[in-house]
Structure 1
Amino acid sequence: MATMKLAAIAVALLLPLVAGVASADEFDFFYLVQQWPGSFCDTQKGCCFPDTGKPAPEFGIHGLWPNYAKCRPAEPELVDDVEMVVDGVPAIGRHHRRQKCWPEYCNDGNQLNPWEIKDLVAELDSHWPTLSCKSGRSMEFWSYEWKKHGTCSGMDQHGYFAAALELKKRHSLAAILADAGIVPSDEESYFLSSIRDAIADATGAVPNLECNRDAFGETQLFQVYQCVDRAGKKLVDCQLPMQGMCRDRAKLPVF
């Protein structure tokens, strides 16, 4: 009887630990996130080109991110006189419950093995380049994205990157916008509704949009979020609202 009680206590103690670990199966859809390089670079921080040189003036992959259809409460945390952000609002106190809207870092031990994606490197250099000044090596960017998001995708390393590349190659966002008269310009601005409608009409799925600010504080289109089914193959309408720092109009700066 004592042994059974000890076993029950051990299981009870382990359950919270297990519950706090993200599962590769616990998501509802993917975001394929592509960023406009002109908007990445045209900020006060600027950008740096990768070792392979200046990327083409095309939207580049930021990541393929598993996401929840509805945010869920994270594990409660005890905090003593430490400022936390709850739903975007700073708060001080104890027992604050954070919101978790996507899984991440599902297997820290599963590091990206460059050998696994060796046949994809040339395509990744073209379609998924880094613009960060921390390092000119895109492999470090891909390794981070794999560790944070890819390990939660339910795919192996090669399958994850191949899926993102295949999704991106189906539609050139820059060409879609150009066909709608939305072209890079340092003077013109465009209605966000026109950008969204052009992408939706061409791809058959409504995207979400994210904006940032240039060095003068003007709004510019930064990233396009395309929603993808759990298999990582089919574009679907994005259902979750996204403010994304956007206003009615945004620029698409020249790159």
Structure 2
Amino acid sequence: MRLSVVAVALLLLPLVAVLASAEQFDFFYLVQQWPGSFCDTQQGCCFPDTGKPAADFGIHGLWPNYAKCRSAGERELVGEMGLVDMGLRRKKCWPEYCNDGNPLSLWEIKDLVKQLDQSWPTLSCKSGKSMEFWSYEWRKHGTCSDLDQHGYFAAALALKARYNLTAILADAGIVPSDDDTYFLSSISDAIAEGTGFKANLECNRDASGETQLFQVYQCVDRSGKRLIDCPLPMQGKCRDRVKLPPF
């Protein structure tokens, strides 16, 4: 018996829905920031309502990313040829805001809140509530991760715990200091040796304009479980020597 076109379409709908909901990306960035560098700027920082965080790298986010920037924002011209206006293409290097109808629920991550307060605190002066920070990261990045809410935050926490950047740098003699500076290559080598994988580094400027290590971008496979060598180089605004200010 031949199936009608309508029947075939109905059978394929679940598969289409699954494919549409699965976000396509190539790897994650696990981004951790040094709190001393976040605060030691002209803008400064504010502590969350849970108090001053530990002097330790804190999670900024777990961000799905493309290995190669893609064209986005194309507009089709309606006509016999079905042409595409190539002039309206723009580059998109990561997916974001994939499901605004899925806000973060505290209930879903209730068993992780203590760890999140310690490892993923906000330093922004906008609210002082880390839950708002987590909600933003989930809405912008987590909804594109193909992970549920609990799995997304648990993955970031597990990776941070497995590879303690503060301890890895300290073992290499790279410790917070008001006066000392460190070769950027020494920091990069220490992280590669301590984790087994190369990471990307980002710097910012302190209130007097000196360069300081700000964020470490570790690359993670699509499962969110294993580190990989970063497939993309990064222009992280760093110089040959950088500071790691106390917090």
The TM-score with structure 2 as length reference comes to 0.86
Structure 2: 5+ residue runs without aligned partners? Answer: 1-19, 76-85
Structure 1: 5+ residue runs without aligned partners? Answer: 1-21, 78-93
Q: Sort the Cα spacing of 1:23 and 1:253 in 2 relative to 1 into closer, same or farther, 3 A.
A: farther
Identity between Structure 1 and Structure 2 (%): 79
Q: Determine if contact 1:24/1:151 at 8 Å carries over to the other structure.
A: no
Question: Deviations for 1:193-231, whole angstroms, at most 9, x for unmatched residues?
Answer: 100100100100100000001111110000000000000
> What is the one-letter code of the residue matched to 1:99?
K
Q: Determine if contact 1:49/1:136 at 8 Å carries over to the other structure.
A: yes
The TM-score with structure 1 as length reference comes to 0.83
Alignment size in residue pairs: 219
How far off its partner does 1:95 sit?
A: 3.8
Partners of 2:215 and 2:156 in 1: how far apart? 15
- Are residue 252 (structure 1) and residue 240 (structure 2) matched? no
- Are residue 220 (structure 1) and residue 212 (structure 2) matched? yes
Aligned partner of residue 185 in structure 2, secondary structure: helix
Aligned partner of residue 32 in structure 2, secondary structure: strand
Partners of 1:231 and 1:250 in 2: how far apart? 33
1:56-67 map, 5 Å = 56-67=54-65
> What is the one-letter code of the residue matched to 1:34?
Q
- Are residue 131 (structure 1) and residue 123 (structure 2) matched? yes
Q: CA RMSD in A?
A: 1.5
Aligned partner of residue 212 in structure 2, secondary structure: strand
How far off its partner does 1:99 sit?
A: 1.0
How far off its partner does 1:23 sit?
A: 5.8
Quote the residue 1:193 is aligned against.
Answer: 185
> What is the one-letter code of the residue matched to 1:74?
A
User: Which of 94, 111, 126 does residue 119 from structure 1 map onto?
Assistant: 111
Q: Determine if contact 1:33/1:61 at 8 Å carries over to the other structure.
A: yes
Q: 4+ runs of 1 displaced by more than 4 Å? A: none
Q: Determine if contact 1:39/1:253 at 8 Å carries over to the other structure.
A: yes
Quote the residue 2:175 is aligned against.
Answer: 183
Partners of 2:161 and 2:22 in 1: how far apart? 25
Partners of 1:123 and 1:146 in 2: how far apart? 16
How far off its partner does 1:96 sit?
A: 4.4
User: Which of 193, 196, 206 does residue 204 from structure 1 map onto?
Assistant: 196
